[in-house]
Amino acid sequence: MTKPVRFEGVFPILATPFHEDESLDLPSLTRLVRFMADLGVDGVTVLGVLGESNRMIDAEREQVIKTAIAAAGDCPVIVGTSHSGTLAAIKLSQMAQALGASAVMVSPQQEPIPNEQRVFEYYQRIATEVALPLVVQDHPPSSQVHMSVGLLLRLIQDIPSIACVKAEAAPTLGKISALIEGMKLRRVPLLTALGALYGGFELERGASGFNTGFAFPEILARMVQLARAGQIDQAHQLYQRLLPLIVFEQQPGTAIRKELLRLRGLITSNRVRHPGASIDNATSNQLRALLQRVLPGADISKPVAI
């Protein structure tokens, strides 16, 4: 049964755990999802960029979705269903819907000649064939598509099932402000991402929360709580304390984040599927030292309170 979802708060993007031979590690995925749900996050997202969805076949995607939904309990599960073909994106979204997903997250697809009308049609056709809420992912580094504010406002206005925009097109601050200002007739939440790299500033601009893979979502939840209470200075203080870890973790690739999840005891292996690279020893040692500076004495296998 589909669980209702409000796109405000914290929605961790989850890594997909693999064994050392690069096969799916579903017990680790169950543990990871359960940990996040027990934290009280507002939802989780699987099969995003961090989830290495582009390195999986459809049968594996189905296993990931089934496992995540079974482990999530009452926590909504959002499924990434982006594909370079519109029909394929529809079929992946319908599969997620049939398996009990609460929403799907879709990014636009690059074409040889950029065409915003084609991007609009991509979302329109998916919305016509899928009953779930849609999250529009605006992340040019992965999609190679730059969506204008005007296009995003048109999508929000003309496609009722678009329920959220994942706003991670840098520079994010001006675009978040422009979207909030432009949503005159219909408003949807804007969730920030990029590993919370600009998170304190984005909350200040009006972002509704986080949809990102930062390995300590409980700290992001505290930032959101402070911002909602009008305590933006306190939210910034927390953000600044964590910023060295946020910056280090946000380096390209998924290796550092997977190692953090392993150190937290949530996944067994930090393996990244080839051609992606797993973490090297020097970076791993530097990460451990950084954790001791930022979170001295913390048992990171348990929820971290600051």
CB neighbour burial string for 234-270, b if at least 16 within 10 angstroms, e if fewer:
ebbebbeebeebbebbbeeebbbbbbbbbbbebbbbb
pLDDT tier, 43 (very low <50, low <70, confident <90, very high otherwise)? very high
Mean pLDDT of 199-215: 97
Q: How far apart (Å, rounded) are the C-alpha atoms in residues 221 and 228?
A: 11
Cβ distance 54 to 84 under 8 Å? no
Mean pLDDT of 166-195: 96
Cβ distance 135 to 166 under 8 Å? yes
User: 86-121: per-residue pLDDT in tens?
Assistant: 999 999 999 999 999 999 999 998 888 889 999 999
Closest CA to 12 of 254, 157, 260, 191: 191
Cβ distance 195 to 213 under 8 Å? yes
Question: 293 — phi, psi (to 5°)?
Answer: -75, -40
Q: How far apart (Å, rounded) are the C-alpha atoms in residues 135 and 127?
A: 11
Cβ distance 283 to 39 under 8 Å? no
Instruction: List strands edge to edge, sheet with 134-138.
Output: 9-10, 209-210, 190-192, 162-167, 134-138, 103-106, 77-80, 44-46
Question: In the numeric block, which tokens belong to residue 45?
Answer: 């997202």
E strand or H helix at 164? strand 162-167
* Burial class for 127, CB neighbours closer than 10 Å (0-12, 13-18, 19+): buried
The average confidence (pLDDT) of the chain is: 96
Closest CA to 21 of 259, 269, 276, 281: 269
pLDDT at 2 over 80: no
* 9-294, CATH topology level: TIM Barrel (3.20.20)
Q: Strand, helix or coil at 76?
A: coil
**Which of 56-61's residues contact partners 24+ apart within 8 Å by CB, and which partners?**
56/16, 58/92, 58/95, 60/24, 61/92, 61/95
Asked if omega into 141 is within 30° of 0 (cis), the reply is: no
Cβ distance 266 to 71 under 8 Å? no
Mean pLDDT of 124-152: 94
Question: In the numeric block, which tokens belong to residue 15?
Answer: 């890594």
What is the structure's pLDDT at 143?
86
User: 230-251: per-residue pLDDT in tens?
Assistant: 999 999 999 999 999 999 999 9
Domain definitions of the chain by residue range: 9-294
pLDDT tier, 1 (very low <50, low <70, confident <90, very high otherwise)? low
What is the structure's pLDDT at 3?
77
E strand or H helix at 80? strand 77-80
